[in-house]
């Protein structure tokens, strides 16, 4: 696992700015504390930091072929590296190391851009082809590993993280109004946007080809929804179990200590079960608990750990969340308000004390219909089929109900029935509504957002083509929420402590298989993840499969009614708050006071405002960055 960066000048007579490249590479130190270097050749330069996992003694990056006509920087793991190596050796290629970086380099030598189609793994890599003055950059199919890039003044630069790219001197710091609007809507910035104007995120399953100053983006993979009627629950469960077992078998390979995250939910328990069955020995497992019983899953994690005989370790989240948010924001490099980033960081920190690699259960919700917002959207759709007169009577009765968080949820449920299917689903993932955002913005910000608005959410929904609304919801989560929220959070928080996290459920073969399984085998009559639960049924106590889904349900509503409230007032509502240049402080105070008084549950809204302020303060410390419109 690594951090990578690069600098290519379209003017071949201009040498690489080595000081900028070194600064970018140094900013990635946490991603690769074991080794690091840069390579330059006239107008091209690459940098890498390495966390050594396979062939620890070798695999130094950047890695060149014999005559330095092709040079690679690589971040990730290739799980079919052994098979590819055998194929390449049969073609006459000779290897100097056992690491998968060299496998990708030789694969590019053999098959050029078609090589990416042969890779099974998580990755972001760049190959400089000096013979053709061409840079080829690719990201894995589902977006497990990140890559951001920019062009300015004839220079193309890229990196694993925004903080690193910001050190290049090529990022002007202008805020992308559409990205800020999306952030306040969804709590993250969807690709290909970043918070900075002119800086982009490479999407999952995409590649970039830069050649002599011209940049081309290509899509080499997209999930295709093709439900197959021939599947039966028994055969589909067997096929899934076989694929998962093979994915875990491949992903447990490591030359350094390996463990697993274990929340006690279906996803992480499935991974630990497969690890135990693969002969991995006594597995080290890790979980984070909360001091709020409604959010704490430790009893289920302990139940799973006892079932599979793991060496189980726990920690409890009880630190100052607002203080931690200021420490963590640099790893995102932009506003990011999924509050579960904090427990993800803490469980990664706990795991890193014992292992270098951890397996995680991320992906199960997106593939097999585990999210409550999907379940609730389906209930709204059923309610929308009620006679309009009957729904009108319900709405009239709700006018008389008191104003409270509980009754406001009922009102929203009823109002959602009047929306189009895509808007019903979007509404359930929305933090600040359109009206709330309009009231929140300063006049200048409101005008800028209006001129720049775009709908990434709707685009992914339409990308699903003729699929049912149920499958469209899964597709939308897979294409946007998974890479831009879940996988971003896991990558940044694990790499912040130099921990490699692998996600077997997102082996692209499982993703492609799931797209062929009819929806009713994933969710039916209130039961989600039917296939996954069926595969676990005879292996774990029934209580594990019957529990209510929690995830890393951080108690933000309680936080801001307790200790975090004072910190919010000082940070976001104080006289020196930088967010006041973009957001109306009076509106922010009204939201805060309504939450404190119990008139509404706005914990996620307040967390989003906190993280925006924290990001502005971080950005002001980066040389050359002065965020503004």
Please give the DSSP secondary-structure letter assigned to residue 482: I
| Residue 464 Ramachandran class (φ > 0 left, ψ -120 to 50 alpha, else beta) | alpha
Whole-number Å distance between alpha carbons of 374 and 524: 12
76 touches 145 (CB < 8 A): yes
208 touches 615 (CB < 8 A): no
Q: Treating both helix axes as pointing N-terminal to C-terminal, what angle do 405-416 and 372-383 enclose, rounded to 10 degrees?
A: 60
- Known catalytic residue at 2: yes
Whole-number Å distance between alpha carbons of 126 and 64: 12
Whole-number Å distance between alpha carbons of 301 and 307: 10
| Residue 266 Ramachandran class (φ > 0 left, ψ -120 to 50 alpha, else beta) | alpha
DSSP 226-271: ---TT--HHHHHHHHHHHHHHHHHHHT--SS-EEEE--SSHHHHHH
Q: Give the C-alpha distances (Å, rounded to integers) separating 31 from 4, 27, 126, 310, 344.
A: 9, 9, 17, 28, 16
Please give the DSSP secondary-structure letter assigned to residue 478: I
DSSP 501-570: EE-GGG-HHHHHHHTTS-GGGTEETTEE-HHHHHHHTTTS-HHHHHSPP-SS---HHHHHHTHHHHHHHH
DSSP 101-148: HHHHHHHHHHHGGGGGGG--EEEEEEEEETTTTEEEEEE-SS--S--E
Q: Give the gyration radius of the chain's Cα atoms.
A: 24
Whole-number Å distance between alpha carbons of 480 and 464: 12
Q: Give the C-alpha distances (Å, rounded to integers) separating 497 from 72, 317, 485.
A: 25, 17, 19
Helix (H, G, I), strand (E, B) or coil at 199: strand
Tokens 């690890």 — which residue?
275
Which of 2, 5, 99, 431 is catalytic? The answer is 2
457 touches 426 (CB < 8 A): yes
Name 122's bridge partners: 77
CA angle (232, 234, 238) in 5-degree steps: 115
136 touches 126 (CB < 8 A): yes
Token pair for 480: 């946007």
Instruction: Tell me which residues are annotated as active site.
Output: 2
């Amino acid at each position: 696992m690594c951090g990578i960066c690069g600098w290519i000048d379209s003017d071949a007579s201009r040498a690489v700015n080595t000081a900028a490249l070194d600064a970018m590479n140094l900013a990635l130190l946490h991603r690769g504390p074991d080794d690091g270097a840069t390579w330059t050749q006239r107008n091209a330069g690459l940098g890498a930091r390495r966390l050594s996992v396979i062939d620890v003694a070798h695999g130094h990056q950047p890695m060149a072929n014999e005559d330095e006509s092709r040079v690679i920087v690589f971040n990730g793991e290739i799980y079919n590296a052994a098979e590819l190596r055998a194929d390449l050796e049969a073609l006459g290629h000779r290897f100097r190391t056992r690491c998968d970086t060299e496998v990708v380099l030789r694969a590019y030598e053999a098959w050029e851009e078609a090589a990416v189609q042969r890779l099974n793994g998580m990755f972001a890599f760049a190959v400089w082809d000096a013979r053709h003055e061409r840079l080829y950059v690719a990201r894995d199919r589902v977006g497990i590993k990140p890559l951001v890039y920019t062009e300015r003044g004839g220079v193309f630069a890229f990196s694993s993280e925004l903080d690193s790219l910001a050190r290049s001197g090529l990022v002007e710091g202008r805020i992308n109004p559409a990205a800020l609007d999306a952030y306040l809507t969804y709590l993250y910035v969807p690709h290909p946007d970043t918070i900075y104007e002119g800086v982009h995120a490479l999407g999952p399953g995409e590649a970039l080809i830069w050649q002599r100053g011209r940049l081309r983006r290509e899509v080499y993979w997209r999930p295709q929804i093709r439900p197959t009627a021939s599947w039966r629950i028994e055969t589909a469960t067997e096929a899934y179990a076989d694929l998962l077992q093979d994915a875990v078998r491949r992903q447990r390979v490591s030359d350094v200590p390996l463990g697993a995250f274990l929340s006690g939910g279906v996803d992480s328990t499935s991974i630990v079960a497969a690890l135990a069955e693969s002969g991995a020995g006594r597995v080290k497992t890790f979980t984070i608990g909360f001091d709020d019983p409604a959010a704490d899953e430790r009893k289920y994690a302990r139940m799973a750990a006892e079932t599979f005989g793991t060496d189980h370790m726990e920690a409890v989240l009880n630190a100052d969340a607002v203080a931690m948010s200021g420490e963590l924001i640099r790893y995102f490099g932009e506003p990011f308000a999924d509050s579960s980033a904090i427990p993800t960081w803490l469980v990664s920190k706990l795991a890193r004390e014992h292992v270098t690699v951890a397996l995680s259960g991320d992906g199960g919700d997106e593939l097999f219909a585990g999210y409550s917002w999907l379940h609730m959207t389906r209930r709204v759709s059923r309610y929308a089929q009620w006679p309009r007169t009957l729904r009108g009577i319900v709405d009239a009765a709700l006018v008389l109900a008191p104003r409270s968080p509980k009754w406001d949820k009922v009102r929203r449920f009823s109002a959602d029935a009047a929306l189009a299917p895509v808007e019903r689903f979007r509404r359930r993932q929305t933090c600040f509504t359109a009206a709330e955002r309009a009231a929140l913005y300063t006049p200048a910000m409101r005008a800028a957002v209006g001129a720049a608005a775009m709908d990434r959410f709707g685009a992914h929904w339409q990308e699903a083509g003729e699929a049912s609304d149920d499958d469209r919801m899964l597709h939308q989560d897979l294409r946007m929420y998974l890479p831009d929220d879940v996988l971003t959070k896991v990558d940044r928080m694990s790499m912040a402590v130099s921990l490699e996290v692998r996600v077997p459920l997102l082996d692209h073969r499982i993703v492609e298989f799931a797209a062929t399984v009819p929806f009713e085998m994933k969710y039916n009559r209130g039961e989600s993840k039917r296939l996954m639960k069926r595969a676990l049924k005879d292996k774990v106590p029934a209580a594990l499969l019957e529990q209510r889904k929690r995830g890393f349900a951080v108690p933000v509503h309680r936080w801001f009614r307790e200790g975090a409230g004072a910190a919010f007032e000082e940070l976001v509502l104080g006289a020196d708050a930088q967010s006041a240049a973009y957001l109306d402080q009076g509106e922010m105070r009204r939201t805060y006071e309504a939450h404190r008084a119990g008139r509404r549950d706005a914990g996620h809204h307040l967390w989003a405002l906190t993280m925006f302020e924290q990001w502005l303060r971080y950005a002001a410390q980066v040389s050359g960055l002065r965020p503004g419109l």
